[in-house]
Amino acid sequence: MSNLKSLRPTLPILIGASLMLTMALGLRQSLGIFMPPLTKDLGISVSDFTLAIAVQNLSWGLLQPLAGAWAGRKGYRSLMVGGSLLYICGLILLATAHGLISVILGAGVAIGAAMACCGGAMSMAVAARPVSAAMRSTVLGIVSGAGSLGAMLAAPVGQFLSQSYGWRAGMYGFIIMALIMVPAAWMAGRVDDIPVAGGGAANQLNARDALSAALRNPSFVVMSLAYFVCGMQLVFLTTHLPSYLDLCAMDPMLGAQALGAIGAFNVLGSVFFGWAGGRFNKLMLLGGMYITRSVLIAWYFMMPPTAASTLFFASAMGFLWLGVAPLVSGWVAETFGLRWQAMLGGLAFVSHQFGSFVGAFGGGLIFDAFGSYNAAWQGGVALGLAAGLTQVCFAYGRVPRQPPPAVT
pLDDT digits (tens, 9 = 90+) for 118-132: 887 788 888 888 877
One domain for residues 55 and 147: yes
The C-alpha atoms of residue 224 and residue 217 are separated, in whole angstroms, by 11
Domain final residue pick, 192, 218, 239: 192
Residue 261 lies in a domain: yes
Q: What is the DSSP string of 184-231?
A: HHHHHGGGGGSPPS---HHHH--HHHHHHHHHT-HHHHHHHHHHHHHH
Residue 403 lies in a domain: no
Q: What contacts 136, CB < 8 A, 6 or more positions away?
A: 128, 278, 330, 333, 334
How many structural domains comprise the chain? Answer: 2
Residue 7 has pLDDT above 70, yes or no: no
Residue 20 lies in a domain: yes
Which pLDDT score is estimated for 199? 47
Taking each helix axis as running N to C, give the angle between helix 77-95 and helix 167-178, from 0 to 180 degrees, rounded to the nearest 10. 170
Which pLDDT score is estimated for 102? 92
More confident call, 272 vs 159: 272
Q: What contacts 43, CB < 8 A, 6 or more positions away?
A: none
Question: Mean pLDDT: which of 229-243, 353-367, 368-382 is highest?
Answer: 368-382
Which pLDDT score is estimated for 4? 53
One domain for residues 114 and 222: no
One domain for residues 362 and 270: yes
Residue 42 has pLDDT above 50, yes or no: yes
Residue 401 lies in a domain: no
Single out the residue of 248, 215, 202 nearest to residue 351, CA to CA: 215
The C-alpha atoms of residue 401 and residue 396 are separated, in whole angstroms, by 10
One domain for residues 169 and 295: no
Q: Specify whether the CB–CB gap between 190 and 13 falls below 8 A.
A: yes
One domain for residues 180 and 214: no
One domain for residues 230 and 107: no
More confident call, 109 vs 125: 109
Q: Specify whether the CB–CB gap between 119 and 24 falls below 8 A.
A: yes
Residue 405 has pLDDT above 60, yes or no: no
Residue 314 has pLDDT above 90, yes or no: no
Q: 227: domain range?
A: 200-395
Number of residues that make up the chain: 408
Q: Check residue 364 and give left, alpha or beta (phi > 0: left; psi -120 to 50: alpha).
A: alpha
Residue 31 lies in a domain: yes
Single out the residue of 48, 145, 149, 138 nearest to residue 101, CA to CA: 48
Domain final residue pick, 147, 176, 192: 192
Residue 407 lies in a domain: no
Residue 408 has pLDDT above 50, yes or no: no
One domain for residues 294 and 263: yes
The C-alpha atoms of residue 288 and residue 40 are separated, in whole angstroms, by 43
Question: Mean pLDDT: which of 92-106, 204-218, 391-405 is highest?
Answer: 92-106
- Lowest-confidence segment of 57-66, 182-191, 325-334, 392-401 by average pLDDT: 392-401
Q: What percent of the chain has pLDDT over 90?
A: 21
One domain for residues 207 and 171: no
One domain for residues 272 and 162: no
What average pLDDT does range 277-291 have in this prediction? 89
- Domain CATH for 46: 1.20.1250.20
More confident call, 346 vs 405: 346
Residue 343 has pLDDT above 60, yes or no: yes
One domain for residues 272 and 331: yes
- Lowest-confidence segment of 60-64, 239-243, 287-291, 389-393 by average pLDDT: 239-243
Question: Mean pLDDT: which of 9-13, 52-56, 172-176 is highest?
Answer: 172-176
Question: Mean pLDDT: which of 86-90, 275-279, 282-286 is highest?
Answer: 86-90
Which pLDDT score is estimated for 204? 62
Domain final residue pick, 160, 192, 224: 192
Residue 6 lies in a domain: no
Using DSSP's 3-state secondary structure scheme, residue 11 falls into helix
More confident call, 143 vs 80: 80
**Average pLDDT of the chain to the nearest whole number:** 82
Which pLDDT score is estimated for 402? 42
Phi, psi of 217 (to 5 degrees): -90, 110
What is the end-to-end Cα distance of the chain in Å, rounded? 39
pTM above 0.85? Answer: no
Burial class (CB in 10 A: 0-12, 13-18, 19+), 174: buried
What average pLDDT does range 205-222 have in this prediction? 82
Which pLDDT score is estimated for 203? 57
Residue 404 has pLDDT above 70, yes or no: no
Q: Specify whether the CB–CB gap between 326 and 141 falls below 8 A.
A: yes
Q: Specify whether the CB–CB gap between 80 and 67 falls below 8 A.
A: no
One domain for residues 205 and 187: no
Residue 304 lies in a domain: yes
What average pLDDT does range 37-49 have in this prediction? 81
pLDDT tens-place string over residues 163-185: 889 889 999 999 999 999 999 99
One domain for residues 19 and 118: yes
pLDDT tens-place string over residues 347-373: 888 888 888 888 877 777 787 778 788
